[in-house]
Amino acid sequence: MSIAILFTNKEAESWRQYIQDKHPGTRVEIYPDISDPASVEYVICWKPEAGAIAEYPNLKVIQSAGAGVDHIDHVPHGVTLCRIVDHKLSHDMYEFVLMVMLADMKNMNIYRDEQRQRVWQPRPYRSIDGTRVGILGIGQIGSYVGQHLAQLGFSVSGWSRSAKMLDGITCYHGERGMHEMMGQVDYLINLLPLTDETRDILNKKNLSSLPRGAYLINVGRGPSHVDADLIELLDSGHLSGVFLDVFRQEPLPEDHPFWHQAGLHMAPHVASVSDIDAVMETIMHNYDHRDQQSQLRYVIDTNKGY
Ligand code: NDP
Ligand code: OXD
């Protein structure tokens, strides 16, 4: 039996070595150098090349190396798709969005620019107490982020597909619930998975429900925001700022208008990255149970798409 690692834009050799050390008797190889595709029963993927997954006729489990599975475009019939759920992944996301919000609340993005121009211009700032945060997607990561922000003193609300009750978070669901929540937040954080329903959800019509001057943070997936609408809402002042960690096309093309857009800050999809040490137990568990569907962890419901 063997394991294949199918990574694009992600370093694979350290994962290969780590798994090989844990399973000396199993062949662990990196795509495209797979010596015997018929022996592969388990693949670990991050943005696999189109069609690559179809090369393994005896595949049993596709393991996403991250929380999202939208980067996997093909799940052969009878194969189970699993993802990562991990405390460190949630905690790192919490640290990241907190950093983004505090930088805006305390005007650090402006002061950084003004320092270069030798401008001394004190400005009013926001405090955590009284700042309202809305989170689209209060699953494993969104609920963790929301509850930790609430513990700091932020006023937190969250939106999901199904109705929920979570300590510290005022919960909304359904289309009307989304607009109701958006109408009363200063910071909107997107932590939705990418599905047919969440594609383009951060569009002009929906974001117009936010109060004027709200700030948008997208750390979910790029195709959830409509590029031209974000530019228009920033230019009109409806959004006071936008932070993007994810993009419709990654890496962001060099000629994309976002690079020079006033009020927009960005990072190269690094808000929270699966840590090998933290996720290896789940990966090896799922490899060891590839023949026992009911024992697999964090299985994707292919009807829901997440
Ligand atoms: P979960 O599946 O645990 O949570 C998803 C949440 O989104 C759930 O609350 C779900 O509702 C809600 N949701 C899904 N579809 C809809 C919909 N149509 N309408 C309303 N709510 C919806 O995912 P995770 O929290 O583990 O991860 C979320 C996403 O974060 C990942 O899919 C990935 O895209 C992104 N991510 C980004 C990272 C980065 O570095 N930028 C790192 C890690 C993750 P319900 O609870 O009712 O099912
Ligand atoms: C993930 C990510 O889905 O890093 O885990 O985007």
| Cα–Cα distance, 71 to 46 (Å, whole number) | 7
Amino acid in the structure at residue 125: Y
* Residue 57 pLDDT: 96
| Cα–Cα distance, 77 to 107 (Å, whole number) | 51
pLDDT bracket for residue 1 (50, 70, 90): confident
Give the model confidence (pLDDT) of 112-130 as tens digits. Answer: 999 999 999 999 999 999 9
Ligand 1 mutation target, pool 64, 87, 191, 301, most atoms within 8 A of CB: 191
C-alpha neighbours within 13 Å on the C-beta side of residue 178: 19
Give the model confidence (pLDDT) of 5-38 as tens digits. Answer: 999 999 999 999 999 998 899 999 999 999 999 9
* Residues with a CB atom less than 6 Å from ligand 1: 66-68, 85, 89, 93, 137-142, 159-162, 191-195, 197-198, 219-221, 245-246, 269, 271-272, 306
Instruction: Say which DSSP state 299 is in.
Output: B
**Alpha carbon of 138 to those of 84, 175, 261, 285: distances in Å?**
16, 15, 29, 26
DSSP letters, 120-155, are --------STT-EEEEE--SHHHHHHHHHHHHHT-E
**For residue 163, which atom of ligand 1 is closest to its CA?**
47
* Residue tagged 């978070």 (tokens): 169
State mean pLDDT over 276-298.
Answer: 95
* Residue 305 pLDDT: 94
C-alpha closest to that of 275 among 90, 23, 139, 94? 90
